[in-house]
């Protein structure tokens, strides 16, 4: 049984309540529930954390080093700004997939840069809530491949 940290960053707690054009109508709780079902069917288990605070996200990554086999992270806007999150991912060395609901490359130029992507095994963006399932599927295949 693989254990995966699913980590969501700032403002993602608002999913399903505002800006449905970009982020869809599904709430974060619904996304996580669906992902947990997918994980179970794939002989895996997810633990979900969401925080609006950069340091709490860093702490969650550090903590995952003690128990997780990998990380699915949607760091929200911190993707484009946070050297601290990048350093945390690199420091723990867990396989990590950067995940986005929207296609960040079809949006403003400031969303095209990711500080996290170079220390991640892959990036999934643009599939709405399905991005999380695609990311988890890719991560589990990577982990299984050793
Ligand atoms: O597309 C994504 O998943 C993003 O990580 C979402 C971030 C954005 O800063 C990234 O560039 C791309 C923003 C999350 C904001 O979430 C909201 C949800 C509902 C209503 C308002 C904001």
Residue with tokens 């960053």: 9
Q: What is the pLDDT of residues 13-55, one digit of tens each?
A: 999 987 777 788 999 999 999 999 999 999 999 999 999 999 9
Q: Which residues, at least 6 apart from 107, have a Cβ–Cβ distance to it below 8 Å?
A: none
Protein residue with least CA distance to atom 6, ligand 1: 76
Ligand 1 pocket mutation pick from 6, 11, 85 by most atoms within 8 angstroms of CB: 11
pTM for this one? 0.97
- Pairwise CA distance, residues 53 & 66, whole Å: 21
Q: Which CATH code fits 2-143? A: 3.40.50.9100
Protein residue with least CA distance to atom 13, ligand 1 = 76
Q: What are the structural domain ranges in the chain? A: 2-143
Rounded to an integer, the average pLDDT of 52-66 is 98
């Amino acid at each position: 049984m693989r254990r995966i940290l699913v980590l969501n960053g700032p403002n993602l707690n608002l999913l399903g309540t505002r800006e449905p054009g970009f982020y869809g109508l599904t709430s974060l709780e619904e996304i996580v529930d669906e992902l947990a079902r997918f994980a179970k069917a794939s002989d895996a288990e997810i633990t979900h954390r969401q925080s609006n605070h950069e340091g709490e996200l860093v702490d969650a990554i550090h903590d995952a080093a003690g128990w997780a086999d990998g990380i699915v992270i949607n760091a929200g806007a911190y993707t484009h700004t946070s050297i601290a999150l990048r350093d945390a991912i690199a420091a723990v060395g867990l396989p990590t997939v950067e995940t986005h609901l929207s296609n960040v490359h079809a949006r403003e130029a400031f969303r095209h840069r990711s500080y996290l992507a170079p220390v991640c095994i892959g990036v999934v963006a643009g599939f709405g809530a399905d991005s999380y399932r695609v990311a988890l599927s890719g991560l589990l295949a990577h982990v299984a491949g050793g």
